Amino acid sequence: MKIWEMTALELGRKIKSGEIGVAEAAKASLEQIGALEPEIHAYVTVDEDNALKKAAEIQKRIDSGELTGPLAGVPAAVKDNLCTEGLLTTCSSKILYNFVPTYTAEAVRNLEKAGAVILGKTNMDEFAMGSTTETSAFGATRNPWNPEHVPGGSSGGSCAAVAAGECFYALGSDTGGSIRQPSSFCGVTGIKPTYGTVSRYGLIAYGSSLDQIGPIAKNVSDCAAVLETIASYDKKDSTSIPRTDCDFTSALTDDVQGLRIGIPRDYFGEGLDPEVKAAVLSAAKVLEEKGAVVEEFDLSLVEYAIPAYYVIASAEASSNLSRFDGVKYGLRAKDYEGLHSMYKKSRSEGFGPEVKRRIMLGSFVLSSGYYDAYYLKALRTKALIKKAFDKAFERFDVILGPAAPTTAPRLGESLSDPLKMYLGDIYTVSVNLAGLPGMTVPCAVDSKGLPIGLQLIGDCFQEKKIIRAGYAFEQSRVYQEPELAKNVRTARDAAGDGMSGRREPGAARADGTYMGGVYTPDKAACIASDKITGYKADGTGKGGARL
């Protein structure tokens, strides 16, 4: 078995036993990155030099017995909306193209304390607004299972990086399905924890009442171990919840005897791809055969979750994104007349079409005269949706359904019709509205060769139940890697240079984005050219969204 093929915990054990060195592990990831990035573009920034420096440092601390955790020395990637001190953090937006945070997000700090080697920052939909990772200002990420298809979004870079072996696990964020849907499209496992479980300190906010950080990895065990590491009560996040039950790995038992699983009929109606439906129902069968009690039921209100979600998320986004004004960081427009003109011009140049669309909608639903009719109505709907879940969890331990209605669409297919794209979130958004934990576990590959994900939803604070169900299901299936990731050696040999995307250290960049020793894709070129994205990021090209 090659190093990159290992799970995070397998690698962690081999590092602990001295069989594999931390630097060797980091190099294995960097080699995959070097060979695959030109095609996949999962990363916005690869921090090669620092990663190798950090690897040496962590190796010493492991050798001295100071670091003993299961993830010590294991290379990881972080979504580019999580602040990392000294390392470019762009939210895949032009408005933050040169932002270098002065502090590190709490979740990332928790990983660092556990000995993680952070390889770099992963691509995403701009400000996490999108379902395909095509709204990134720096070019779309492609699905490692088929580069003609999207990886899903908004944590598409994190999920693609895990699937392609470009890291051993990654952090994502989930506001309306942004961990679970791309996990489904990329054939990896991802957890969105109960709201308040992982500190949001240092997560650049989109919809604060819905945002939650979570792990993405090759399997349930890795996800449980990472979640256990990043979960913490944090005074710096006033919505953080003190929990004493974060020993998630204790739930990794192949035992679902008597576990009550509910299948919402409303999740299997019109719009669901027949192959996805069959795969998810056959996964339920596997759990039933293992002793779970599986029953259908009516959840109700499912169709109201999307309109409620888009009102609430857009409203919060319009408020959260008002801080980007060209004063303290990020892009400032060149020509303006006075302060207000500078604000408006900087924002109009810096934000992409999807972000503008949501800021406009959010500003509208919060404006006087419409606040009650739209915003408060959505918050009342949210209360009803929460109640419907409360009722369901009186009968069931776990709700099982698909993570998305289809497998990954082709690039350029989704952005032309935003409303249609929003409808793809139907099985994920209600989980955020109700603050529940949800997890995607890969369960099959469709006839086009694209992965299908199973979604398991638990009641608040009941991550262990979904972890147990996911782990038990996973025992019936062997983890599959995309062919592309396995053929790296051939790709490298053909290219004659494994690190074909690499820049020489110290190369200066005209736009100032190139930090010492940090590799970044040529962002200016990404914006100007349609080579990587298939559409122009300014919205003028094929499939590009316009406001």
Partner 1 sequence: MANVISDETIEYVGILAKLELSGEEKEEAKKDMGRMLDYIDMLNELDTGGVEPMSHVFAMHNVFREDVVTNGDEREKILKNAPEQKDGSFKVPKTVE
Indicate the residue among 389 and 519 with the shorter CB distance to partner 1. Answer: 389
Interacting residues with partner 1 between 497 and 516 (CB under 8 A): none
How far is Cα 331 from Cα 88, in angstroms, rounded to an integer?
14
For 402-428, give the DSSP string: ESSSSSPPBTTSSTT-HHHHHHTTTTT
Among 10, 47, 134, 325, binds partner 1 (CB under 8 A): 325
The question of whether 178 is a catalytic residue gets the answer yes
Contact set for partner 1, span 215-244 (CB under 8 A): 235, 238-239, 241
Instruction: Check if the beta carbon of residue 38 is closer than 8 Å to that of residue 12.
Output: no
Number of residues counted as binding partner 1 (CB under 8 A): 71
Active-site residue flag, 240: no
Alpha-carbon distance 454 to 181, whole Å? 10
Separation of CA 511 from chain center:
28
Catalytic residue among 131, 154, 232, 430: 154
**Residues 20 and 14 sit within 8 Å (Cβ to Cβ):** yes
Q: Which of 180, 172, 233, 228 is nearest to 203 (CA)?
A: 172
- Cα radius of gyration (the chain): 22
The burial of 225, by beta-carbon neighbours within 10 Å (0-12 exposed, 13-18 middle, 19 or more buried), is given as buried
In the block, tokens 């350029």 appear at 412
- x/- map, 273-312, partner 1, by CB under 8 A: ----------------------------x-xx-xxx-xx-
Pick from 153, 190, 418, 543 the residue near partner 1 by CB under 8 A. 418
Q: Is residue 391 part of the contact set for partner 1 (CB under 8 A)?
A: no
Q: Which is nearer to partner 1, 239 or 406 (CB)?
A: 239
Q: Which of 356, 464, 468, 523 binds partner 1 (CB under 8 A)?
A: 356
Report the residue number, 297 or 304, with the smaller CB distance to partner 1: 304
Which residue from 12, 144, 435, 458 is in contact with partner 1, where contact means CB under 8 A?
Answer: 435
CB of 180 to partner 1, least distance (A): 18
- CB-based contact 132:90 (threshold 8 Å): no
Does 382 participate in binding partner 1 (rule CB under 8 A)? yes
DSSP per residue over 480-528, as a string? ---HHHHTHHHHHHHHT-TTTT---TT---TTS---TT-B---HHHHHH
Beta carbon of residue 102, minimum distance to partner 1 (angstroms, whole number): 4
Q: Does the protein bind partner 1 through residue 345 (CB under 8 A)?
A: yes
Kindly indicate which of the ranges 11-19, 114-122, 428-436, 438-446 contains the residues binding partner 1, using the contact rule CB under 8 A: 428-436
Q: Which is nearer to partner 1, 238 or 257 (CB)?
A: 238
Binding to partner 1 (CB under 8 A): which residues in 183-202?
195-196
547 interacts with partner 1 by CB under 8 A: yes
Residue 74 CB, nearest distance to partner 1 (Å)? 29
178, 240, 414, 430: which one is catalytic?
178
Residues 30, 48: Cα–Cα separation, whole Å = 7
DSSP collapsed to 3 states, 121-184: EECCCHHHCCCCCCCCCCCCCCECCECCECCCCCCHHHHHHHHCCCCCEEEEEECCCCCHHHHH
Please select the residue that binds partner 1; options are 25, 170, 361, 467, rule is CB under 8 A. Answer: 361
Dihedral angle over CA of 236, 205, 511, 41, nearest 10: 110
- Of 4, 99, 201, 267, which one interacts with partner 1 (CB under 8 A)? 99
414 among known catalytic residues? no
Give the residue among 480, 474, 476, 479 at the shortest CA–CA distance from 220. Answer: 474
Does residue 44 contact residue 157 with C-beta atoms inside 8 Å?
yes
Restricting to residues 124-153, which ones interact with partner 1 according to CB under 8 A?
A: none
Q: Which position among 14, 27, 54, 79 bears the catalytic label?
A: 79
What residues are labeled active site? 79, 154, 178
